[in-house]
Structures are given as C-alpha cells and as structure tokens.
C-alpha cells in the first residue's frame, strides 16, 4: 500500500499525464415533466438537427438563462424558421435507436447488445460522440409542442430533462 501512495505522489509531483476513466458507452435518459415537476406520460421526442455556431449563439444569447447548462426553450416561430437550415443528424443513435421516439411506444436499447424495451426513453452514445447543439421537438397530449436547444446529447452524459407547458 505504501508503494502505491509513493507512486501516486511521484506521478502527481512530476506532472506525468494519465488517462481518465472512460465510460465507453452511455445512455442519455430523457425525462419530461410539467411546470410542477410531474412526469408527462406519452411524450414524443424528436432530434431535428444540429445547429451551427452562427445559429446557436444568437438563440443562446436571447433565450438561455444565465448560468444554465441545461436545455433552453425557444419559441416555435424561431424553431420552425431553422428546421430547413439545420445540419442533418444520422438516422439513429450509436446502437440503432431512432431519433424520434414515443415514450412507452418505441422500444429503445440502452446498449449495443441490450434488449430493446418500452421502458427506455433516450439515446445511447459512445464516448467521444456528440450530436452537438441539437434542436429538439417535444410533444404530448394536452401540451403545446415545444422546441428546445440541447448540448447534452453526448457519450458519458446520463440524463437530460425537459419541461412542457400547456
């Protein structure tokens, strides 16, 4: 044990670079709730496309709350004006799940070899892979369709939450 302590101290003192722990593949679970933080059943999520820096920066400046790192909502008129200009995403995530999913209806896998389940709602991404700045459409019965910009669909993230309004 003493040797490990000395070795650790030596490595940190000499500044020898070490590799961080890798996650390999992760599942970004999507949670959708209302303004009272109650889960919204039967939600549909669709990743519409990737925003360029020139598209993202003005939206973030206008609609993202200060010190917020989560997704931020944008008005439908802004989103609808961007849809045809977005960079296309692949047809599916890294294990073949579709980028449009209905909670409790679409069978989704958490891993490449995993079994698809109706209990899963989200996207599986390998480490180092990111969808980037994505325009997201969310809808559910009794709620207005809502559009968000998210930067958190990447490998090693495990959760992304959204709030729908009536």
Reported as a single tens digit per residue, the pLDDT across 107-153 is 999 988 889 999 999 999 988 888 899 999 999 999 999 999 999 88
Residue with tokens 């991404």: 125
Strand, helix or coil for residue 160: strand
> In 10 A of CB 156, how many CB atoms?
17
68 CB-near residues (< 8 Å, 6+ apart): none
Specify whether the CB–CB gap between 101 and 109 falls below 8 A: no
Contact 73, 146 (CB under 8 A): yes
Do 130 and 122 form a contact (C-beta atoms < 8 A)? Answer: no
Residue by residue, DSSP assigns 96-124 as: S-BSEEETTTS-B-SSTTSPPBTT--EEE
DSSP structural state of residue 91 = S
**How sure is the predictor about 21, in pLDDT bands with cuts at 50, 70 and 90?**
low
Contact criterion met (CB below 8 Å) for 101 and 62: no
Q: pLDDT tens digits for 62-117? A: 999 988 888 999 999 999 999 999 999 999 999 999 999 999 999 999 988 889 99
**Does residue 7 carry a pLDDT above 80?**
no
User: In the predicted model, what is the mean pLDDT of residues 30-41?
Assistant: 95
């Amino acid at each position: 044990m003493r040797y490990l302590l000395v070795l650790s101290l030596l490595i940190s003192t000499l500044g020898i670079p070490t590799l961080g722990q890798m996650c390999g593949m992760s599942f970004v679970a999507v949670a959708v709730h209302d303004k009272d933080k109650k889960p919204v059943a039967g939600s549909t999520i669709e990743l519409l496309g990737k925003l360029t820096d020139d598209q993202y920066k003005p939206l973030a400046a206008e609609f993202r709350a200060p010190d917020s790192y989560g997704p931020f909502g944008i008005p439908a008129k802004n989103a609808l004006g961007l849809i045809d200009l977005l960079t296309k995403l692949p047809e599916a995530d890294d294990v073949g799940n579709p980028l449009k999913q209905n909670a409790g209806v679409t069978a989704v896998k958490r891993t490449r070899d995993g079994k698809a389940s109706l209990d899963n709602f989200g996207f599986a991404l390998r480490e180092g892979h990111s969808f980037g700045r994505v325009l997201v459409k969310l809808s559910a019965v009794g709620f207005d369709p809502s559009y968000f910009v998210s930067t958190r669909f990447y490998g090693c993230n495990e959760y992304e939450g959204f709030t729908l309004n009536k």
